Amino acid sequence: MAQNIRFEHPDKYTILVIDDEKRIREVTYTMLTKEGFEVAIAETGEIGMKMIDERHYDIVLLDLMMPGISGLDVLSHLKSHHPYSVVVVITGYATLEHSIEAMKKGAFDFIPKPFSPQDLRVVIIKAIEFIRTLHDIANEKSRMGVLINQLSGGVMATDSQKRVALANPAFLKMIDYFEEDAIGRLVGDVLRNKKIEGMIDEALSMHEEKFADLTDEIDFGDNILSIRCIPFRDRLGRNLGTITVVNDITALKKMEQLKSDFVSMVAHEVRSPLNSIGMQLKVILDGLAGDVTEKQKEILSRASEKIKALNNLSTELLDLARIESGLIMQEKEKLDIDKLLRDQTNFFQEAARTKGIRLELDNLPELPPVLANLGNMEEVLSNLISNAINYTPDNGRIVISARVEKKYLCITVRDTGFGIPAEDIERIFERFYRVKNEKTRHIIGTGLGLPIVKSIVEAHNGKIKVESELGKGSTFFIYLPLVL
């Protein structure tokens, strides 16, 4: 078979034959040059060694038994000085021990004398495949190296002993590390940050069946860094080390803060004149400024409605800004969920009744308390219930319920309303996003209710989910962690 295989690009490979036996040198030289390889020959170990030092040979065919410097000596020299040359030893007496010893010292393969051109071909094909793999790995490694070094994000890899195996310049800059080489040092000595080290510990001890991205944001000097840490594993799932990716998000955070401050400022500034306009309209509407005709009343009422909507918008913008700047987390208490749900259901009875909607509280099981902020939770429920009322046609039904699910308390608000189209469902938690269709077009809203709900729930380490069927209704699920 091997006889039929043509070597691909043999001219790309250089081969050196070191053998004191003239016949072997000649046979190999003739055969390999005929194939297109560039071949050089040396008749002693001394000459061979000199040639090796002068230029690179991809493959060295090396006789083990030579007078003077032995093949094994040449092999040792090659391995320590020219590790990228692939060595095939030629064993004169076909003694297995010699070949084994040579392999132990780093020879790639051996070929016993006497050998046929066919034997030689097989061994050269294998050596070339090996060289190609070596090249591929080296290319890949250098490509990766360039890539990682050029990344603007910081990347660091550690081994399982928490020693730094790789750290790109961006990483070292972000953690203010200007000393000599960080490679090989313990993470603790290089980082001087307990939080990142803690994440690395956690990643290293992560169970093989679990794969989580550990993320955090840390204050580092004047900067805010976002950190992601993951373990990397071998094929058996054992943790071999960790990779940490760091991004400087200081500018992003500042922008967010500016935006939030700006929105708060505008909302705040708009609110008092709006209130004042609203009040003056009411004075006129109530007839305190003189008689008002029915027509005027109608126009003023509509204006007053719009003022209310604007007022609502500014309140919600303020709420959102407050929530996003982390101001809501202050006072948490053990909340009696049963009471909260009862109060909220009662509060909205009137609004539901005007639309002929049945608003009911389910039979609740005994519920454990959750640690939460009362005002925030009232806001969550009032948003969900008022949405349910708004987006349910007359004579519908809304059911509020709660139960324990694993380590969470799950509150649900279910309605028999319009439902939410599948293409919108992912987006209704985005700021200002409103579903626009025939059914909802006339309903006034800001598109800020659900983002507020989501922010509050997440600030309580909870989750929100929605299921909906168009024309049938929607159910919103709020999961709050239980006090354990």
User: What are the residues binding ligand ADP (CB under 6 A)?
Assistant: 383, 387-388, 391, 415, 417-418, 420, 428, 433-435, 440, 445-450, 474
- Measure the CA–CA gap between 416 and 474, rounded to whole angstroms: 7
For ligand ADP, which is the closer residue by CB, 105 or 434?
434
- CB of residue 342 to ligand ADP, shortest distance in Å: 21
The bridge status of strand 370-372 relative to strand 333-335 is antiparallel
Based on CB atoms, which residue is closest to ligand ADP, 189 or 469?
469
CB of 322 to ligand ADP, least distance (A): 17
- 215's CB contacts (< 8 A; 6+ apart) are 226, 227, 228, 229
One-letter identity of residue 296: Q
Closest CB to ligand ADP among 248 and 379?
379
Cα separation, 293 vs 169, in Å, equals 76
Q: Which is nearer to ligand ADP, 182 or 420 (CB)?
A: 420
| Sequence-separated (6 or more) residues with CB below 8 Å from residue 360 | 345, 397, 398, 399, 400
Closer residue to ligand ADP in complex, CB, 153/447:
447
Nearer of residues 154 and 449 to ligand ADP, judged by Cβ: 449
Report in angstroms how near the CB of residue 418 gets to ligand ADP at its nearest.
5
CB of 475 to ligand ADP, least distance (A): 9
- Report the residue number, 271 or 431, with the smaller CB distance to ligand ADP: 431
Q: Are 389 and 413 in contact (CB under 8 A)?
A: no
The rounded distance, in Å, linking the Cα atoms of 242 and 232 is 6
Instruction: Identify whether the C-beta of residue 397 lies closer than 8 Å to the C-beta of residue 362.
Output: no
Give the whole-angstrom CA distance, residue 392 versus residue 357: 8
- The nearer residue to ligand ADP, 91 or 401, going by C-beta atoms, is 401
Question: 10 or 445: whose CB is closer to ligand ADP?
Answer: 445
| Residue 345: other Cβ atoms inside 10 A | 19
Closer residue to ligand ADP in complex, CB, 72/389: 389
Beta bridge partners of 466: 476
Q: How far is the CB of 391 from ligand ADP (least distance, A)?
A: 3
Provide, rounded to whole angstroms, the least separation between the CB of residue 233 and ligand ADP: 42
Cα→Cα distances 275→272, 309, 439, Å: 5, 11, 31
- Backbone φ and ψ of 258, nearest 5°: -60, -45
Strand ranges across the sheet with 397-405: 358-361, 397-405, 408-415, 473-481, 463-469
> Measured from the CB atom, is 32 or 274 closer to ligand ADP?
274
Please identify, using beta-carbon distances, which residue of 71 and 417 lies nearer to ligand ADP: 417
Shortest distance, position 434 Cβ to ligand ADP, whole Å: 3
Least distance CB 367 / ligand ADP (angstroms): 23
> Shortest approach of ligand ADP to residue 478 CB, angstroms?
13
Reference 18, options 97, 107, 94, 96; nearest CA is: 107
ω before 273 within 30° of 0 (cis)?
Answer: no
**Could you tell me the smallest distance in angstroms from the CB atom of residue 387 to ligand ADP?**
4
Q: What are phi and psi of 36, to 5 degrees?
A: 110, 0
What the block records as the tokens of 4 is 């039929």
- DSSP label of 329: G
Q: Quick check: 199 and 227 in contact, CB under 8 A?
A: yes
Q: What backbone torsions phi and psi does residue 152 show, to the nearest 5 degrees?
A: -80, -20
How many angstroms separate the CA atoms of 72 and 107, rounded? Answer: 9
Q: How many residues does the chain have?
A: 484
Minimum distance of ligand ADP from residue 420's CB (angstroms): 5
Least gap, CB of 160 to ligand ADP (angstroms)? 47
Q: SS3 of 13, please?
A: coil
